[in-house]
Amino acid sequence: MLRRPVAAAALALFAAACADPAGTNLPGGTLVVAMAGEPNTLVPALAATASDQAIAQQLFDRLADLPDDLNTLGDRGFRPRLAQRWDWSADSLQIRFHLDPRARWHDGRPVRAEDVRFTWALYADPKTGAPFAPLITNIDSVTVADSLTAVFWFHRRTAEQFYDATYQMLIHPAHRLAGVAHDSLRASPFAQAPVGSGRFRFVAYQPGVQAEIAADTGNYKGRAKLDRVIFKMIGDPSAALAQLLAREVDVVDNLRPEAAAQVSARSDLRVEPYRSLLVGYVALSLHDKATPRPHPVLGDVAMRRALALSLDRTAYVRAVFDSNATVPDGPAPSAIAPRDTALHPWPHDPAAADRLLDSLGWARGADGMRARNGQPLALRILVPTTSATRQRLATFIQAALKERGIALTVESLEPTAIGPRRDARDFDLFIQAVSLDPTLSVLKQSWGGANAMVPRSSNITGYASPAFDALSDSAIASGSPAAARAYWARAFRVINDDVPGIWLYEPRALMGIHRRIEATRLLPTYWFAGLADWSIPASQRLPRDRATR
């Protein structure tokens, strides 16, 4: 049995060589990726940051992969991964996943249904502290029907049952982790040398220097087209850019627009834009700090609408991002937002804003600034010092509101200092940038009424709308993808009318990349999702592409 993957890989190589006598498409090469942050963990169940995910997703497999169109409703378009196929029960409350019998862990042991059951138990156990555990609560249990069949049982039918079962969990090896206490997983030996079933296997991790993974040559899904991928830890964006320009690294993600211009000017590099799931918006505090009392100024929906009408968002986004961002129509980026022609962000209409402010009793004084009953109309906006784009946007907003007679103070703070202020809702306006999961159901966390008064919840504005909650609940509970989309479109109209946030930008992510790299499937979820299919033509390989360990 152990020889089968090797034989399959040899056959695949032979076939490739026959089709390509010059050998230009043979696998090989080394990709060096600049990684902005050190991974916090190599254990997928604990992975929360992009750095964690970048490595974990190469080493471990899901049961099925999300389709390229990011559909999360039903199972349409999902691509088999560890699961070769799946069946639904008649009542749709269970899904039987039939595992690929060829799948092996990198230590040679076969992947079995028990691994799937173990993985769900690991994610679901609160002691583990899995960040995505709250997103799989609709899974009641996972049982083992036979060694290659795992059965997922659900509490209730929803349009995203299949997505819940497949997207959030990377399957862990039970035989490696069975004796490890779930609350000490982070410090376990497995966390230092993870063993997965993905098309890359773990090679080495030098803290602060680099993490290295290599192609699993006998992998059941086919050998990765690259020999090695090295994630170099380069915390400073300028240092990462310098290393890209000097050809010491091949990929730098999240280029700033000015850096992208430098990269574009080079013949050996290119800029690869791709859609992202990031959305930036001005969160408006609806409560007086963390109390149930309405915010003295922003508690009034007319005031929030006046603010939205005051801002020329298209112009600001153009000035800050050039053509690399657009203004979203709602709280989610267009990649996953419902297609609804009736959705329009509030237009830039200073005259309408003035009329609203006047009607609320905020009259202009001799200096042009507004006040009511002797109280000046003054607000504060919170932005992180680490985001140049958000700082610039705050300046534009400040200038625009000043023209409307509203004094806005910009408070720039370190991200670590922003956290407690955000959690305590100690802000008036806050420019928030959130990278969403590919499902709209995550919006319940940020905008759902159930979280409105929960301390430290993602609903930082305290927004609570029975109409929005009912529509989003209906969308989530809907068994029909078409109905779910229609409910979401209506929910977006409700939240747009209520203006708990002013949607500012959804950027196209810019990646600086060496020209010899053929990058495929840059998905908005994670650009590295298709890394195993990236390749480097043999004729264009550099000396480091031919290096072996």
Partner 1 sequence: VVLVVAVASLVLMRLAPGDPLGASLDGAQVPPGVRAQWRAQMGADVPLPIMVLRWLGHALTGDLGFAYSRGMPVARAIGAALPWTALLGAVALLAGFAGGIGLAMAQARAAGTRLDRWLGTGALAAWALPEFVVALVLVEFLAVRWGWLPTGGCCDAAITGGAPWALRVADRARHLVLPGLALALVIAAQVARHQRVTLLEAWRAPFLRAARARGVARAALWWRHAWRAAVGPTVQLAGLSLPLLAGGAFVVERVFAWPGMGQLAFQALADRDPHLAVGCVVLSAALVVLGGALAELVQAALDPRTAA
Task: Return the residue of 22, 187, 342, 450 that touches partner 1, per CB under 8 A.
Answer: 187
Phi, psi (5° rounding) for residue 87? -130, 145
Using the rule CB under 8 A, is 547 a contact of partner 1? yes
Q: How far is the CB of 517 from partner 1 (least distance, A)?
A: 14
Taking the CB of residue 76, how many other CB atoms lie within 10 A of it?
11
Please say which residue, 201 or 232, places its beta carbon nearer to partner 1.
Answer: 232
Is the CB of 52 or the CB of 61 nearer to partner 1? 52
One of 436, 452, 476, 495 touching partner 1 (CB under 8 A)? 436
Our CB check for partner 1 shows the closer of 55 and 489 to be 55
**In the bound complex, what is the minimum distance in angstroms from residue 225's beta carbon to partner 1?**
18
Binding mask 127-156 for partner 1 (x = CB under 8 A): x-xxx-xx----------------------
**How many CB atoms within 10 Å of residue 487?**
23
Query: What is the CB neighbour count within 10 angstroms for residue 387?
Result: 16
Task: Pick from 70, 144, 191, 494 the residue near partner 1 by CB under 8 A.
Answer: 191
Three-class secondary structure of residue 336 per DSSP: coil
Task: Kindly report the length of the chain.
Answer: 549
- String of contacts with partner 1 for each residue 415-434, x by CB under 8 A: xxxxxx--x---------xx
| Under rule CB under 8 A, residue 207 binds partner 1 | yes
* Residue 242 touching partner 1 (CB under 8 A): yes
Q: For residue 399, with 0-12 CB atoms within 10 Å meaning exposed, 13-18 middle and 19 or more buried, which class applies?
A: exposed
Task: Name residue, tokens 């809907």.
Answer: 478
Exposed/middle/buried for residue 547 (C-beta within 10 Å: 0-12, 13-18, 19+): exposed
Footprint (CB under 8 A) of partner 1, residues 482-521? none
Three-state DSSP class for residue 265? coil
**Does residue 540 interact with partner 1 by CB under 8 A?**
no
Does 108 bind partner 1 (CB under 8 A)? Our answer is: no
Among 334, 458, 474, 540, binds partner 1 (CB under 8 A): 458
**Candidates 138-146, 149-157, 237-245, 318-326; binding stretch for partner 1 (CB under 8 A):** 237-245
Residue 389 binds to partner 1 (criterion: CB under 8 A): no
| Residue placing its CB nearer to partner 1 in the complex, 94 or 451 | 451
Q: Rule CB under 8 A: say whether 390 interacts with partner 1.
A: no
End-to-end CA distance of the chain: 27
In the complex, minimum distance from the CB of residue 543 to partner 1, in angstroms, rounded to a whole number: 6
CB of 209 to partner 1, least distance (A): 5
Distance in angstroms (rounded) separating the CA atoms of residues 101 and 108:
13
In whole angstroms, the minimum distance from the beta carbon of 546 to partner 1 comes to: 8
User: Could you say whether residue 341 binds partner 1 (CB under 8 A)?
Assistant: no
Nearest CA among 514, 512, 516 for reference residue 541: 516
Region of 57-65, 180-188, 343-351, 499-507 interacting with partner 1 (CB under 8 A): 180-188
Q: Taking CB under 8 A as the rule, does residue 312 contact partner 1?
A: no
Quick check: 347 binds partner 1 (CB under 8 A)? no
Collect all residues with Cβ–Cβ distance below 8 Å to 260 and sequence separation of at least 6.
271, 324, 510, 512
Site map (CB under 8 A) of partner 1, residues 18-37, x = contact: ------------x-x----x
CB of 541 to partner 1, least distance (A): 11
Give yes or no for residue 15 binding partner 1 (CB under 8 A).
Answer: no
The whole-angstrom separation of Cα 541 and Cα 531 is 17
- Token reading at 334: 């267009």
Residue (of 72, 49, 67, 64) closest to 336 by Cα position: 72
* Strand boundaries in 54-125, DSSP class E: 64-65, 79-80, 83-88, 94-99
Distances (CA, A) of 505 to 426, 435, 463: 24, 12, 20
Please say which residue, 374 or 543, places its beta carbon nearer to partner 1.
Answer: 543
By beta-carbon proximity to partner 1, the closer residue of 83 and 185 is: 185
Strands 79-80 and 83-88: unpaired
3 state DSSP class of 91: coil
In 119-199, where do the E strands start and end? 139-146, 149-154
**Per CB under 8 A, 126 contacts partner 1:** yes
Are the CB atoms for 61 and 171 separated by under 8 Å?
yes
Q: Is 218 within 8 Å of 103 (Cβ atoms)?
A: no
Report which DSSP code applies to 156.
Answer: S
Residue from 95, 177, 233, 484 touching partner 1 (CB under 8 A): that is 233
Report the site for partner 1 in 277-296 (rule: CB under 8 A).
Answer: 278
Q: In the complex with partner 1, which residue's Cβ is closer, 130 or 303?
A: 130
| Residue 206 in the binding site for partner 1 (CB under 8 A) | yes
Window contacting partner 1 (CB under 8 A); options: 63-71, 302-310, 393-401, 410-418? 410-418
Which of 12, 69, 89, 235: binder of partner 1 (CB under 8 A)? 235
Spatial distance between the Cα atoms of 352 and 335, rounded to a whole number of angstroms: 31
Using the structure block, give the residue that is written with the tokens 């595992």.
99
Q: How far is the CB of 488 from partner 1 (least distance, A)?
A: 18
Q: How far is the CB of 128 from partner 1 (least distance, A)?
A: 8
